[in-house]
Structure 1
């Protein structure tokens, strides 16, 4: 059974730490029981995970993040744009026996070569380990408002990691389409878990698109326009060392390190980007 676990004072404090001016959520966020958290811990420790992906756990905090999103093994989970499957390596074994993982990946007909290659690599990953990925369902997420990512009200959780800036690069309306699709796919009472590179308050849209950092204010605005309510924030993926002011935006930092050896030690010391970790609910 889910329990409440964060008091209003802590939420206010978290808002101040993150530099947010919006009021904290008033609803009570969920928390997993210890035995449910243990299921996530085991999935994070799955032997199917690549060593290179495991080495990034310190920057991505998957165990704490998925626990905050209250992910359970019987859930139907939609992972948005899973890329090469960093989180799929955890989610697929987590829900394989009792639930379902739907990977809403890039459009195979996309004009963007990177999208087509990324999808092909993900499909190869699934095929290489059928004992883990045989139950994963592939879906398409594009900006066509008539193409759903899943049957209406079929998912318990929709999870998206560091993708909002990509949607915004195509336009605010396109980003709004994605949020609407995620809302439509969730059951009433279902949760949207979102991680995104966090811009400083007051950052303009053009800078968000060029830098890859997005303000919490805009993310919450897009979610609320789609019908979501903010349930909670978590500091689990914040990084106070990240100023967000870098020559090549977020891609200056690891893992991309777009500047190569230039100031490499400095950017490695900063680590991965400062990130918001937000939990929204589709009201019943």
Structure 2
């Protein structure tokens, strides 16, 4: 009954909020940071590490703009949080190069849920500068000293009904410990309607941006930048992200947090 009540409450809140959405600023003039030398992002996208299927998705996922936003550089140590099919794992592998390293996290519960997640993890383990961790959802075993932890379209999964209510807090704390002082935590996810908080996480696979900011800041991070590259005015933010009416075209927020120096 409690699940039914929560679903009904979510539906009412989403319906009531859908008509009054405020888009974020349309542009941010600078990436998260600028370092000497920089990264050849065109070469990253063309890398043989990536697949033809990856490149076919680059326009919709704004991959070059996303990588620029993270500030990723050759030699960096990156954590790819909830790697899914490995799309960004391969992009970061190409971006950091042989002098860098990517630790991709595929939670054990995801592997148990769907065989393809295990297959993606095994494939990523075959890349020279990537290793995959398969620890449980509430306990990512990232190494210390990371320059960047990145997650795309999966932060809301920390609030899925099967998982403990403190999962997000535990994960954010683990990310904080894993990052070097001054390191970056970049979160991309599907917009829920403003004010919906966590109500859409399980039902629609979306999350309210303000809820993410509040949770991540509570772990000790400082909000530094965000970009509107993945904003979509045509998304009412009330449909499940897998619904064919909006799948692949959802409005998404892109936020960068920093661990204090």
TM-score category (smaller protein): 0.7 to 0.9
**CA shift for structure 1 position 134:** 1.7
Which residue of structure 2 aligns with residue 9 of structure 1?
none
Distance in 2 (CA, whole Å) between partners of 1:219 and 1:72 is: 26
Structure 1 SS opposite 2:201: helix
C-alpha distance in 2 between matches for 1:78 and 1:111: 17
Partner of 1:244: 237
Of 152, 173, 176 in structure 1, the residue corresponding to residue 169 of structure 2 is 176
Q: Give the Cα separation in 1 of the matches to 2:96 and 2:112.
A: 31
- The answer to whether the 8 Å contact 2:222/2:257 transfers is yes
Secondary structure of the structure 2 residue equivalent to 1:93: helix
1:56 is the counterpart of 2:57: yes
Partner of 2:148: 157
- Please report the TM-score for the alignment, with normalisation by the length of structure 2: 0.81
Cα 1:150–1:48 shift into 2, 3 Å: closer
Mapped to 1, the partners of 2:103 and 2:134 lie a distance apart of 10
Residues 82 and 105, structure 2, Cα contact 8 Å, conserved in 1: yes
- Give 5+ residue unaligned stretches, structure 2: 1-20
Whole-Å separation in 2 of the counterparts to 1:30 and 1:205: 27
Q: Which aligned pairs between 1:88-167 and structure 2 lie closer than 5 A? A: 88-107=89-108, 110=109, 113-115=112-114, 117-127=116-126, 133-144=127-138, 147-152=139-144, 154-167=145-158
2:23 and 2:231 in contact (8 A); partners too: no
Alignment partners' CA distance in 1, 2:134 and 2:31: 30
Contact 2:90 2:124 in 1 (8 A): no
CA displacement at 1:87 relative to structure 2 = 0.9
Aligned equivalent of 2:9: none
Pair 1:221–1:117, CA change in 2 (3 A): same
Q: Quick one: distance in 2 between partners of 1:112 and 1:44?
A: 27
Query: What is the RMSD computed on CA atoms of the aligned residues?
Result: 2.5
Q: Which residue of 2 aligns with 1:25?
A: none
Q: Secondary structure at the match of 1:211?
A: coil
Aligned residues of 1:32 and 1:67 also touching (Cα < 8 A)? no
Listed one character per residue, the Cα deviations across residues 21-52 of structure 1 (whole Å, up to 9, x for unaligned) are: xxxxxxx96333695142x2211121332222
Q: TM (normalized to structure 1)?
A: 0.75
Q: How far apart are 1:70 and its partner, in Å?
A: 0.7
- Structure 1: 5+ residue runs without aligned partners? 1-14, 20-27, 128-132, 258-265
The residue aligned with 1:17 is 23
